[in-house]
Structure 1
Amino acid sequence: MDNAAHESIFRPMKMDCDIAIIGGGLAGGTLALALAHAGFGVTLLDAAPAETHRAPDFDGRSYALALTSKRLLANLGLWDVLGPDSQPMNRIKVTDGRVGDASVALGLEFDSAELEEGPMGHMVEDRHLRAAMLDALDAAPGIDHRTGTRVTNQSAAEHGATLALEDGRDITAPLVIAADGRQSGTARRAGITRTGWDYPQTALVCAIAHERDHGGTAHQLFLPSGPLAILPLTGNRSSIVWSERRGLAEDINALSEEDYLTVLRPRFGDFLGEVSLAGARYSYPLNLTLADSLTAPRLALVGDAAHGVHPIAGQGLNAGLKDVATLADVLSSARRRGEDIGAPQVLDRYARWRRFDTSSLGLATDVFNRLFSNDSAALRAIRDLGMQAVNAAPGLRRVFMREAAGLSGELPELMARER
């Protein structure tokens, strides 16, 4: 073997950045900020054009951000912008049936006054969260944010990974992060299989204005066709996440605004007074999809690319943000020890930290949806007894509240530390 060939085999790859992230949604963008905050050079690749994410009607959702997710955003400098547009969730009420129906006993009530850390979470509209994230990405040093950039192929080698872009260019990095959603092409190209199934439900999402003050109370109603969440927004407004049987949901979403409200009103009663739509309506078919592995050679998965769950507990984004904080923690610690951040033993630490939580969340949301999305009198009696038993046990109720706030288990630094 001549000297030139010998050098070509053993010379390390020339890297374009420390970490390449595929997917510029909330998980990918927040991870880019967390890694840049830790001193990594990041290339963030987003297939969508910039104006798509900037459109005020891009998504239509609002998010129930757990206390630990708020800490993460605060430590990244985003909460100063988001705070004025956020609504604290002071109480959560869970009902097995329609609010206002005298025949239905209130099953559970959680009050943030029982937690010394403060509100369990805050509601933030997607349009505010996404805009704050994009502004921070534009201002952050160390982030090369490329929109309208599609990855068509990838390969992993001993010292790094190469991404082939649709425009013919390549990007090399020691580590690639897949944040490209439930149908992650990055995970599929790496040979990562998925476990999951479709639900016979579609989530109808909208915001409503209402006559009465919501008092910072979030309602979760378990109806036979699926859960209905009424989540407080700023002012006299609430976000609705309404799961219905798929065919019926499509018919409802096609109705006029007034007819849509005519179907919605009797499902949650009149406790908020007169209601009206306060924006566009959206629909999202529901499914469960869990990646069978969170890592592959030179690759880690975060957010919906790793786990997409039923919205019954409102924990999807919180789980993705915990991926972000955990991976940033693992990679920062590895670099301080002089390790290769894309080495299998480093990525295994991330996978071990997150695997139990993500699998448990997927199982819990699936079981709760199946248990409550029916009209069985026997199951309803069992459900109501169980909820009332929890409601009567302060210690157990506190466990559930800490879980909802994201305070259970070992927390990564960006979620454990108050800013």
Structure 2
Amino acid sequence: MQGVSQDQVARCDVAVIGGGPAGLAFAASLGNTGLAVQVLERQPEAALAEPAFDGREIALTHASQALLRELGAWDRIPAESISPLVEARVLNGTSGYALRFDTAERTEPELGKLVSNHAIRRSLYEVVRATKSVTLRAGTAVSGIRTDVEGVEITLADGQELRAGLVVAADSRFSAAREMLGVRAERHDFGKRMMVCRLRHAAPHHGIATEWFDYGQTIAMLPLNNNCSSAVLTLEPDEAAALERMPEAGFGPEVARRYRQRLGAMELVSTRHTYPLVTTYARSFATTRAALLGDAAVGMHPVTAHGFNLGLRGGATLAREIRAALAAGRDFAGPDVLRRYATAHRLATRPLYLATNATAMIYGQASRPARLLREAALRLGNHLAPVRRRIVAGLMEAP
């Protein structure tokens, strides 16, 4: 590589672009490999140390909980930020029929845990800060990336350069690093907005998450502690904008009305946050001395609540391949290492990504054929026990 003189260039073994949960978890997973890791995050450090509530509650599978325990992050999450997820139900339109997923045929008492996204981010930040081999460079934006068989050259927005043996893009589904690497991505814009917030309600939720595919709206209620739920409303952009403008006092009653009083009277107890409903899937998860991770690799539709879990799994897969190469005395960022990661992560994500998008499209339609298909799929799901058991195992990611 060419550029400024050798003594003016900072160096590390692995550069991770993006200090979100996927990037921080991956960086922490390399803590005892002997590799020097730098995490480049454009946000200021205060935003990582004390991340603001963003409305998102993450449904952590058993496998994800185990990974967070291994990293030392789980015990740093406050107990009040962890809520049990006992059962999940899917409702369709005006029908009172529900497709149910629970652990009745398993030994585990829960499908998983619901954990606030900002609490997970804070815990992983604390782990990374305590990991000596990882350097966190907050307030650092990347303006360019060049890779070849010898290594990676990263140009920072302030003109500094960083050289590494491997660069990992983990900077969101709208990844700028992915574009700099020349990796294209499939993109599907559902044309909807997703609003998330917390509501306190009169009736108990019993630890049951409900996804109701109504005609013209989708409302999910995720059970939280203290008789609260995280409301996830998928709406047309103009409807979402109207709800954003609605005074706080009227918001709870409006959601209760839309939800047909299933949980009784409701009261808004948090800020409201709205996100565009866009899914992405990178054409490749690896290129020369570079890998994609988290939402930069796969930006999932939230209907299956698996996006964060897939990001953690991908990081664990990449770290495992790197460790195996180091143990064998091979190049930890060689083509064979990255190819095995990319293949494994594609097999783990592609079927779920396609199935999730198809489900969201079918259940987002209100035509008569779509309504009949939606209802038939729910009833069939309840009567095919092997399929239901497989779905439950996938939701839990448990042995």
> TM-score normalized by structure 1?
0.89
Where does 1:13-412 land on structure 2 (aligned, <5 Å)? 16-55=11-50, 57-82=52-77, 84=79, 85-97=81-93, 104-407=95-398
1:193-224, Cα deviation, whole Å (9 max, x unpaired): 11112111000110111223221111111122
State the distance in 1 between where 2:165 and 2:217 align.
44
State the distance in 1 between where 2:306 and 2:336 align.
28
1:96-129, Cα deviation, whole Å (9 max, x unpaired): 13xxxxx623231111232234422110012211
Q: Secondary structure in 2 aligned to 1:374? A: coil
Q: Which amino acid aligns with 1:343?
A: G
State the distance in 2 between where 1:191 and 1:80 align.
39
State the distance in 2 between where 1:385 and 1:245 align.
26
Q: Which amino acid aligns with 1:19?
A: V
Q: Please identify, of 60-69 and 201-210, the stretch whose mean Cα deviation from structure 2 is larger.
A: 60-69
State the distance in 1 between where 2:202 and 2:52 align.
24
State the distance in 1 between where 2:10 and 2:337 align.
19
State the distance in 2 between where 1:401 and 1:15 align.
47
Q: Secondary structure in 2 aligned to 1:340? A: coil
CA drift at 1:184: 1.3
CA drift at 1:263: 2.9
1:142-185, Cα deviation, whole Å (9 max, x unpaired): 11011001111111132211111122222111100000111211
State the distance in 2 between where 1:58 and 1:379 align.
36
- Count of residue pairs brought into register by the alignment: 392
State the distance in 2 between where 1:88 and 1:367 align.
28
Identity %: 32
1:222-276, Cα deviation, whole Å (9 max, x unpaired): 1222432100112211111110012221122121123333431122222322211
Contact 1:295 1:347 in 2 (8 A): yes
State the distance in 1 between where 2:105 and 2:64 align.
19
Counterparts in 2 of 1:39 and 1:87: CA distance versus 1, 3 Å: farther
Q: Please identify, of 280-289 and 372-381, the stretch whose mean Cα deviation from structure 2 is larger.
A: 372-381
Q: Which amino acid aligns with 1:45?
A: L
State the distance in 2 between where 1:373 and 1:74 align.
37
> TM-score normalized by structure 2?
0.93
Contact 2:252 2:265 in 1 (8 A): no
Q: Secondary structure in 1 aligned to 2:19? A: coil
State the distance in 1 between where 2:228 and 2:130 align.
32
Contact 2:199 2:252 in 1 (8 A): no
CA drift at 1:378: 3.3
Q: Secondary structure in 2 aligned to 1:375? A: coil
State the distance in 1 between where 2:74 and 2:126 align.
13
Contact 1:31 1:324 in 2 (8 A): yes
Counterparts in 2 of 1:37 and 1:123: CA distance versus 1, 3 Å: farther
Q: Which amino acid aligns with 2:36?
A: G
1:19-68, Cα deviation, whole Å (9 max, x unpaired): 11000011111111111144432111111001223445352211111111
Counterparts in 2 of 1:357 and 1:142: CA distance versus 1, 3 Å: same
Gaps of 5+ in 1: 1-10, 98-102, 408-415
Q: Which amino acid aligns with 1:246?
A: P
Q: Which amino acid aligns with 2:272?
A: R
Q: Secondary structure in 2 aligned to 1:330? A: helix
CA drift at 1:318: 1.2
1:271-303, Cα deviation, whole Å (9 max, x unpaired): 322211111000001112111111111100001
Contact 1:96 1:107 in 2 (8 A): yes
Contact 2:256 2:264 in 1 (8 A): no
State the distance in 2 between where 1:114 and 1:39 align.
44
* Structure 2 match to 1:410: none
State the distance in 1 between where 2:204 and 2:382 align.
24
